Structure 1
Amino acid sequence: MNRYSSLALTGCALISLLGVSACGGEPATPAPAPVSATAAAVFGGTDLAWIEITVAMDEQLLPLLDLAPTNSSGPAAKSLFAEVKALHEDELTNLRALHTEAGLPAENQHKGMPMPGMVTPEQVAEAAPLKGAEFDTFVAEKLKAHFDQGVNLAGSEGKAGVEPRTRALAEKVISSRRTYLARLGEIS
């Protein structure tokens, strides 16, 4: 079994541990510094799976948030969605650096994987014609699922991950997701 086959099995095992059936902070908290290419690191299977899954989840959320400036109902929702988008863009910078350092393949095997919290292109298409409160409610529902799953996955990384910067990023993910879960009520 090669490294990437092992990674795929580890990712499926991680998802299984979280009870997922499908396998096919503070808002202003700064993200950790980008990973140095010269830093020596040892990534375990959980680290590798968490990085790939979280990259896929964050990347697939952004197109939904891109609709907010024109589709959202008002300043509070637009502001919250903009904060969430900026947070995920910052996370992606750090996740992609870890991804590169870990030597993961360019093609993310978790992209498009049907799982809780993963925003799909179909959901983005469904949201595109929605306006105002209807759009805000739709996005809030997707964000809740995304945040809940992010906390679950990052919790698994915290328990079983071995690479210190990856574990630290997972802790920040838990904190930020919990913060934004609490703030979703601001727009309902």
Structure 2
Amino acid sequence: MRVRIALLVAVTLVSGCTTGTPVADDSAPPSTGVVSTAPATGAAGPFSATDIAWLQLTVAMAQRLLPVLDLVPTRTADPAWRRLAAQMRAGSGTDLARSHQLLADSGAPATNPHEGHDMPGMITADELAALRSATGRPFQRLLAAHLRAHLAQSVRVATAEQQGGVHQGTTAMATAVVRTGTADLARLDRLDRPPAPTRPA
């Protein structure tokens, strides 16, 4: 299972950049087109290809999410949605900075291998344009769908890093992402509940 998860994250998510559900192949050799399979060494031990792949994906997902969260104060007056967006923006900013630092420690290239790729959990240019043209409840409905997709995918790949990564600092960050993402999903579910039906007079 450990090898299967490592291949899932390091090979399929990074070099494949598909929008469908990735399928790991235990017989396939690791790709060398994006990250090196030789472990790099950092302050808390070696980085594996899985660690580097997850960090690169975390950077790409955070960079797509931040413009969405920045829209919230101008597109809805609801204080609960504004609070959620502010909390998520702070957390995403922290994750982005930490991921950049860990990638620098690993010696991985500073370039984003996912630049221009639309992957699960990432909002597209057209979806961002639709959000920019919406306000109030229509905006909140669109926002909820995109945040849910982002959070679910973030938790999914962070769980894979928890189980398949080797670098202590990176797996610790993945644990924090799973914890925070799960809590944010619960908050989002409370906000995005359908309105209660009105009773006849």
Q: TM-score range by the shorter chain?
A: 0.7 to 0.9
**Are 2:46 and 1:42 aligned?**
yes
Secondary structure of 1:112's aligned partner: coil
Q: Output the amino acid matched with 1:90.
A: T
Where do residues 30-179 of structure 1 align in structure 2 (5 Å cutoff)?
39=43, 41-179=45-183
Q: Residues of 1 paired with 2:85 and 2:183: CA distance?
A: 13
The size of the alignment, in residue pairs, is 164
Query: Residues 101-149 of structure 1: CA distance to partner in whole angstroms, max 9, x if unpaired?
Result: 1112122112332221012222211100110111111111101001110
Q: RCO greater where, 1 or 2, for CA within 8 Å and sep 6 or more?
A: 1
Q: Output the amino acid matched with 1:13.
A: T
Secondary structure of 1:85's aligned partner: helix
Mean alpha-carbon deviation: is it higher for 116-125 or for 158-167?
116-125
Decide whether aligned partners of structure 1 residues 64 and 162 sit closer, same or farther in structure 2, where only a CA change above 3 A counts: same
Q: Which has the larger radius of gyration?
A: 2
Decide whether aligned partners of structure 1 residues 12 and 122 sit closer, same or farther in structure 2, where only a CA change above 3 A counts: farther
Q: Residues of 1 paired with 2:183 and 2:117: CA distance?
A: 26
Secondary structure of 1:118's aligned partner: coil
Q: Residues of 1 paired with 2:90 and 2:8: CA distance?
A: 32
- The aligned residue for residue 183 of structure 1 is 187
Decide whether aligned partners of structure 1 residues 159 and 40 sit closer, same or farther in structure 2, where only a CA change above 3 A counts: closer
Secondary structure of 2:186's aligned partner: helix
Q: Residues of 1 paired with 2:75 and 2:178: CA distance?
A: 28
Provide the TM-score with structure 1 as the length reference.
Answer: 0.80
Secondary structure of 1:98's aligned partner: helix
Q: Which runs of 5+ in 1 are unaligned?
A: 1-7, 23-37
Secondary structure of 1:67's aligned partner: helix
Query: Residues 55-94 of structure 1: CA distance to partner in whole angstroms, max 9, x if unpaired?
Result: 1001110001110010024111111111111110011111
Q: Residues of 2 paired with 1:10 and 1:171: CA distance?
A: 16
Identity of counterpart residues, as a percentage? 37
8 Å Cα contact 1:46-1:160 kept in structure 2: yes
CA drift of 1:11 comes to: 3.0
Q: Which runs of 5+ in 2 are unaligned?
A: 1-6, 24-41, 193-201
CA drift of 1:39 comes to: 2.3
Decide whether aligned partners of structure 1 residues 9 and 80 sit closer, same or farther in structure 2, where only a CA change above 3 A counts: closer
